[in-house]
Structure 1
Amino acid sequence: MQYFERPPAPQLAPYVRKLWFLRGPRPARYEKILPLPFVHFIVNLSDPYWVVGPDGDRHTELAAGFVSGIQPRYVVIEDPEVLHHVGIEFQPYGIRDFTALPVAALTTTVRAGGDVLPGSDGLREHLAGCAAEHACDRLEQFILALPRSKPDPRVVAACRRIDADSDLDIASLATDFGIAHRTLIELFRRYCGIAPKAYADVVRLHQFLNALPLDGRTPTWTELVASSSYYDQSHFIATFKRFTGFTPARYLDIVGRLGHDYASFVPIGDLG
């Protein structure tokens, strides 16, 4: 597996977290993508991906490129046999200034890149055959050439506050910015596609999964929940299954063997 990533150019830092390149055999036929507190744009250089519906059938073909907004629940993807793509990870509010679509239209779904970032369908041909660093450079050049405005500083600051404390009271956060609670909700939906409380829920889960101690003795779920901000074990299990589609034990069985690289991108051999 070849993997390369780098931070964005300074001009894109307000909008983008990183760029990456990946090439190698798929770990399994299917991949369960768990909720993430950022937005991904991927240029596919391999055979098509497919979004798989709850019925187990292929629903949406993703051939050239696609955008996945902030997802409040997991998405199941059927991967091509060889993974080969270039990607860019936007800040939770970052893609809003590059697209004419409402950001809410990107949540709970995966959309063709050309629908979101006009002209991006041509990137597949443009990046084919490029080495990792060169591919990231070319993708970055495309994004840099798009017209953009500056993100609302209140949304930027609010996301940072929630990232630092996902249990933060949202109404109090709005008061800190001198705006009504409803105004903060509207700003979040405009820039992130979801409400601030939903964003905090995604952040809490993402941070919990990526902090799991997978080396050495694994604590019991009771111990893990006690050290987290979840109320109790029953609340945690219900929330976990709703967000991930896994029981905690099943999730830990898979990711405990594979490691943190698969904490949010979980390979699954079948849909049973």
Structure 2
Amino acid sequence: MPSCETAGLGLVRHTSSVIAATSGAVAIGDLSVAAGVSSAHLAQRFKELIGVTPKRLARSYRFAATVFAIAPAGPIDWGDLAGGAGYFDQAHFGHAFRAFTGLTPTRYVEVRRRFLREHPGHVWDNWPLPAD
């Protein structure tokens, strides 16, 4: 019998792997139904074992995938980027962007472009958010 600390670990491990594999583009309600548990139970297990809800984890993955899709060297169609990432509209994307980074999308690109000018040839190594 699993201890209290590890109860639900398999559920959380499986669900988080689906969230990661889909880059957060999955309905959490569908995951709880597939697992045969309530959304509240799933959220409680996530909070207890990894400190965030599955919805927050999915938002983080989705945001990271979106930021990695930004090519700062060229023009950016923010509406297309937001729509492609599954955001309701550009305003929701901008709100999420500021919530995660403290920067507007435009300011983020300015910072990233400046960084690239000041550090030519720098390899990002999958770190999308340079320090301002």
What TM-score results when the alignment is normalised by the length of structure 1? 0.40
Distance in 2 (CA, whole Å) between partners of 1:186 and 1:251 is 34
In structure 2, what is the equivalent of residue 173 of structure 1?
31
Bigger-Rg structure (1/2) = 1
1:239 aligns with 2:96: yes
Query: What is the deviation of 1:160?
Result: 1.2
Q: State the match for 1:154 in structure 2.
A: 11
Residue from 53, 66, 70 that aligns with 1:195:
53
| Inter-partner Cα distance in structure 1 for 2:65 and 2:71 | 12
Structure with the largest fraction of strand: 1
Equivalent of 2:41, from 170, 183, 189?
Answer: 183
1:212 paired residue among 63, 66, 70: 70
Residue deviations 1:137-183, cap 9 Å, x none? xxxxxxxxxxxx7x822111101111223232212211111222221
Cα distance in 2 for residues equivalent to 1:206 and 1:156: 20
Contact 2:19 2:25 in 1 (8 A): yes
State the shift of 1:226 in Å.
2.7
* 1:92 aligned partner: none
Q: Deviation string for 1:176-202 (max 9, x for gaps)?
A: 112222211111011110111111111
Identity %: 26
- Segments of structure 1 that go 5 or more residues without pairing to the other structure are 1-101, 103-148
- The number of equivalent residue pairs is 119
Greater shift, 218-227 or 239-248, is seen at 218-227
Note the aligned Cα RMSD (angstroms).
2.4
Return the alpha-carbon distance in structure 1 between the equivalents of residues 46 and 75 of structure 2: 36
Higher helix share: 2
Structure 1 position 235, deviation (Å): 1.2
Q: 1:267 corresponds to which residue?
A: 131
Instruction: Find the counterpart in structure 1 of residue 119 from structure 2.
Output: none
Q: Which runs of 4+ in 1 moved over 6 A?
A: none
TM-score normalised according to structure 2 size: 0.76
Q: Please say if 1:229 is aligned against 2:112.
A: no
